Amino acid sequence: MASYRAPARATPRRIRVRRLRAAVLLVVLAALGAAVGYRLVASAVSPAVSSGDTAATEAVPRTVWPAHGQAAFVEGGQSQIHAGPHQHAAPIASVAKVMTAYLVLRDHPLGLGQSGPTITITDDDVADTDRRRGQEESIVPVADGERLTELQALEALLLPSANNIAAVLARWDAGSTDRFVAKMNAASRSLGMTRTRYTDPSGYDDATVSTAADQVRIVEQAMRLPVFANLVATPSVTLPVAGTVHNTDTLLGRGGFVGVKTGSDDAAGGCFAFRAVRWINGRWTTITGVVLGQPGHDQIAAGLMAADAMVDSISGRHGIGSPKPSGGGIDGSRLRSGVRDRGSVDG
pLDDT digits over 8-48, tens only? Answer: 444 444 444 444 454 433 333 333 333 333 332 233 334 55
The amino acid occupying position 86 is H
pLDDT at 58: 44
- pLDDT greater than 80 at residue 327: no
pLDDT at 48: 55
What separation, in Å, do the N-terminal and C-terminal C-alpha atoms of the chain show?
92
The CA distance from 49 to 47, in Å, is 6
- Decide if 290 is inside a domain: yes
Q: What are phi and psi of 29, to 5 degrees?
A: -60, -40
- pLDDT greater than 90 at residue 311: yes
> Which residues in the chain belong to E strands, given as ranges?
49-50, 70-75, 81-83, 90-91, 118-120, 147-149, 209-210, 236-239, 243-246, 257-265, 269-280, 283-294
The CA distance from 28 to 315, in Å, is 41
Cα-based distances in Å from 121 to 61, 149, 237, 239: 50, 11, 19, 13
pLDDT at 334: 37
- Decide if 34 is inside a domain: no
Q: What is the CATH number of the domain that holds 187?
A: 3.40.710.10
- Decide if 160 is inside a domain: yes
- pLDDT greater than 80 at residue 115: yes
User: DSSP letter at 122?
Assistant: -
Contact 315, 325 (CB under 8 A): no
**Residues whose CB is less than 8 angstroms from the CB of residue 171 and which lie 6 or more positions away in sequence, other chains included:** 177, 180
Output 151 or 10, whichever has higher pLDDT: 151
- Decide if 322 is inside a domain: yes
Mean pLDDT of 53-58: 37
The CA distance from 342 to 259, in Å, is 18
Residue 124 lies in domain: 49-336
Contact 251, 257 (CB under 8 A): yes
* Domain count across the chain: 1
Contact 167, 138 (CB under 8 A): no
Cα-based distances in Å from 131 to 94, 121, 125, 139, 267: 18, 15, 10, 10, 21
Q: Please report which confidence band the pLDDT of residue 59 belongs to, taking 50, 70 and 90 as the band edges.
A: confident
Contact 198, 208 (CB under 8 A): yes
CA atoms within 13 A on the CB side of 4: 1
Q: Please report which confidence band the pLDDT of residue 289 belongs to, taking 50, 70 and 90 as the band edges.
A: very high
Mean pLDDT of 165-180: 98
Q: Please report which confidence band the pLDDT of residue 345 belongs to, taking 50, 70 and 90 as the band edges.
A: very low
Contact 135, 169 (CB under 8 A): no
- Decide if 125 is inside a domain: yes
- pLDDT greater than 90 at residue 124: yes
pLDDT at 14: 47
- pLDDT greater than 80 at residue 57: no
Mean pLDDT of 126-142: 98
Q: Within 10 Å of residue 291's Cβ, how many Cβ atoms?
A: 32
pLDDT at 30: 35
Contact 301, 332 (CB under 8 A): yes
**Residues whose CB is less than 8 angstroms from the CB of residue 57 and which lie 6 or more positions away in sequence, other chains included:** 50, 51, 82, 83
Q: Please report which confidence band the pLDDT of residue 281 belongs to, taking 50, 70 and 90 as the band edges.
A: confident
Cα-based distances in Å from 267 to 180, 207, 249: 23, 10, 20
- Helix, strand or coil, per DSSP, at residue 304: helix
- Residue closest to 71 by CA, chosen among 223, 274, 220: 274
Q: Mean of the per-residue pLDDT values for the chain?
A: 83
- Helix, strand or coil, per DSSP, at residue 43: helix
Number of residues written out for the chain: 347
Q: What are phi and psi of 111, to 5 degrees?
A: -95, 160
pLDDT at 54: 33
Q: Within 10 Å of residue 71's Cβ, how many Cβ atoms?
A: 29
- Decide if 62 is inside a domain: yes
- Helix, strand or coil, per DSSP, at residue 262: strand
- Decide if 38 is inside a domain: no
- Helix, strand or coil, per DSSP, at residue 56: helix
pLDDT at 111: 97
Q: What is the pTM of this model?
A: 0.80
- pLDDT greater than 50 at residue 315: yes
pLDDT at 317: 62
Largest interatomic CA distance in the chain: 109
pLDDT at 174: 98
Q: Please report which confidence band the pLDDT of residue 49 belongs to, taking 50, 70 and 90 as the band edges.
A: low
Which DSSP string do the residues of 244-261 spell out, in sequence order? Answer: EEE-S-TTTTSTTEEEEE
- Decide if 347 is inside a domain: no
